[in-house]
Homo-oligomer: A and B are copies of this chain.
Amino acid sequence: MASGGQSRILLFGAGSVGAIYLHLLSKVASTAAVCRSNYDVVKQHGFVINSTIFGHDIRFKPQVVRDCAEASSLSPAPYDYVVVCSKAIPGVVPKLIASAVTPGHTAIVLIQNGVGIEDEYRHAYPDNPIVSAVLYLPATQRPAGVITHAEVELLQLGAFPSSSSNTHAKKFADLVTSAGGTAELHDDIQYMRWSKLLVNASWNPTCALARSKDAHVLTASPEATEVLRAVMLEIRDIAAAYGHNFTRELVDVQLSRAQDRVPNNTGIQPSMLQDVLAGRRIEVEAIVGNPVRLAKEKGVPCVRLEMLYVLAKALDLQIERT
């Protein structure tokens, strides 16, 4: 943190998640954001946020830049935090944030889905603190610059690896809390990652491949409910091999959330389905590929998850191709 002054925070990726944290953190810190697809509209008009939690028609014009080089040229003082809110597509972001990361100083906060997503940052920045974060914040950006958010806002934070100091995770949690957000500090953030993965690695590829809401998948065939439960149990078994234990009851509770949507014929579109329908690439490696590889390393069977991976990976590359 800049001595005596406000923390300096750069958000990388200003989609719906990035925009909401930009709005919050701007109240308590010096902020800027790297915008990509929405740069022009946000530069000119700023963001509009409609949230059932933070308020409607919130308009604000953040400091936005096209890339991290431009961000680092804004001021000679180093960034205290680079907060990565972009999608977890391997091999891309660590290079892109390089000019904003000061070795030994800048904490890298990864607000991303999946497991195993921290490794490439640890490899690229061996001397920087890494804060790993799991987010529950259903939000969409449509059109560019206009964010809709409802119901839930929770950021779970912890050090990466879990055995390292949580000083930076705690400081970042305090910033979020002081700005009016909800942040939880966890000694073992990887447990929380796997907990979210129970739902994400099962429902995300399933709905994206079937192009269907979760409730529609469940009602399409008599086999669907047990197959989804079996996928979740495979994920539970992989987590257990890495020391993260979930009960079968928790799996049933997670499955019941989708089952509860069946009678009303509502159903939700997980983010990967939204991405596929919009022609955007999907976070298949972070959410499905990494758990499959972690399963193999420990010899945990996961034939259903592997099937989902083979299908979703081909789908992702087809999206890239077209």
Contacts and interface: CB of A to CB of B under 8 A. Distances in A.
Contacts of A307: 227, 304, 307-308
A174 interface: no
A306 B223 contact: yes
Contact of A209 (B209, B216, B221): B209
Interface residues on A, range: 20 to 34
A317 B220 contact: yes
A304 B309 CA distance: 12
Nearest to A312: B210
B311 A210 contact: yes
A220 B313 contact: yes
A212 B315 contact: yes
A303 B223 contact: no
20 contacts: A206-B310, A210-B310, A212-B315, A212-B317, A212-B318, A216-B321, A217-B311, A220-B316, A220-B317, A221-B309, A223-B292, A223-B306, A223-B310, A224-B314, A227-B310, A228-B310, A303-B303, A307-B307, A307-B308, A311-B311
A261 interface: no
B209 A210 contact: yes
Interface in A192-206: 206
Contacts of A312: 210
Interface of A: 206, 209-212, 216-217, 220-221, 223-224, 227-228, 230, 289, 292, 303-304, 306-318, 321
A223 B303 CA distance: 11
A206 B211 CA distance: 14
- The list of the 10 closest CB pairs from A to B, nearest first, reads A210-B314, A220-B314, A221-B313, A212-B314, A217-B314, A209-B209, A212-B318, A220-B313, A227-B310, A210-B315
Contacts of A230: 303
What's the dominant secondary structure at chain A's contact region?
helix
A318 B310 CA distance: 22
Nearest to A225: B310
A217 B230 CA distance: 24
Contact of A318 (B216, B228, B308, B317): B216
A211 B310 contact: no
Given A209-B209, A209-B210, A210-B209, A221 B314 contact: yes
A314 B223 contact: no
Contacts of A209: 209-210, 311, 315
A271 to B, nearest CB: 18
Contacts of A315: 209-212
